[in-house]
Amino acid sequence: MDNDVFINELKQIRLTNGQELSYQHFGCDYSSCPVVVINHPLTANSNVTGENGWWNEIVGANKVIDTNRFAVIAFNIPGNGYDGTVIENYANWHTGTIAGFFCAGLRQLGITKIHTLIGGSLGAGIAWEMSALSPNYIERLIPIAGDWKSSDWMIATTYIQNQILESSPKPLEIARMHAMMCYRTPQSFKLRFNRTNNKELNIYNVESWLLYHGNKLKERFQLQAYKAMNHLLGKIDISRNGESFEENIQNIQSEIHIISIDSDLFFPLSEDCETVALAEKADVNIHHHIISSDFGHDAFLMEHKKVKEILTTILN
């Protein structure tokens, strides 16, 4: 008989170094069931399923990440504001810092092995970093629409975002509008808008759509939180401590499944193809899954059927 999805309230854990983490637990008891850890993308949070869950189509009872079968743990990236906390010293952190917090938090909860670690976008970068820090801890690593490093394109994008956040009179709104140009594609804009007009506002529909997304982000996100998450997005690099990617990935004992989107402008498919080629040369257990979509980077949040098919194959 199926159980109702168990959704824990937002909980706090204090690490031995004093850092506080907030997290949510969904589904089975993590002390007795296989554990799936989900790292959220830039403007999301630990609430992966249930009311206002950002990945409701994927996580839940009888869904591909079945909360009748798995214990699902999702941390908030410190400073994302979901738990009411922002941070001032985010410039001293990188994604490896966050990965260290998450690994320590999981061990402090008594979790001795992660069945599957999934990360989307920024969360994928943190997932790569967690695997590099704890190469024997994670059975399956699934980075989705993300990479093990911030490419030059990503560094440039986050630099422009930071300039907007520091100088614009409407920082969150304008930054979000700029970001949407990277999250989607020219083809997706044409399919959706096709140069149509919003007669009420006397502007193009694509312009009103951008205004809508800018205003929505301002309503639900704090400026300091967005600054911190944008900073981290430009600081992904598992080779920062002197070991090359090849050296790092040879140490990772996980079964690795990279999920790319062929139209992704944010984390391009070409970068993942290079990663897979390097890993295969190193004789690493790696698999590459490619989602074909017009939606670009956001396809991992929109192409639910395609994501489900891939994850079902991996998890079963």
Tokens of 96: 């490896």
11-151+237-315 CATH: 3.40.50.1820
Residue 6: pLDDT over 70: no
Dump pLDDT digits (tens) for 238-253.
999 899 999 999 999 9
pLDDT band at 3 (very low <50, low <70, confident <90, very high): very low
In this prediction, residue 212 carries a pLDDT of 98
Dump pLDDT digits (tens) for 68-116.
999 999 999 999 999 999 999 999 999 999 999 999 999 999 999 999 9
Instruction: Please give the single-letter amino acid code of residue 290.
Output: I
Q: Compute the average pLDDT of residues 174-182.
A: 97
**Averaged confidence pLDDT in the chain:** 96
Selection from 220, 215, 43, 23 nearest residue 121 by Cα:
43
CATH class held by domain 152-233: mainly alpha
Domain boundaries, the chain: 11-151+237-315, 152-233
Percent of the chain at pLDDT exceeding 70: 98
Strand locations in the chain (E): 11-14, 20-27, 35-39, 59-60, 65-66, 71-75, 114-120, 138-144, 197-198, 203-204, 255-261, 286-291
Selection from 126, 157, 166, 169 nearest residue 144 by Cα:
126
In this prediction, residue 8 carries a pLDDT of 78
In this prediction, residue 253 carries a pLDDT of 95
In this prediction, residue 1 carries a pLDDT of 33
- In 10 A of CB 228, how many CB atoms? 23
Residue 7: pLDDT over 80: no
CA distance 126 to 138: 13
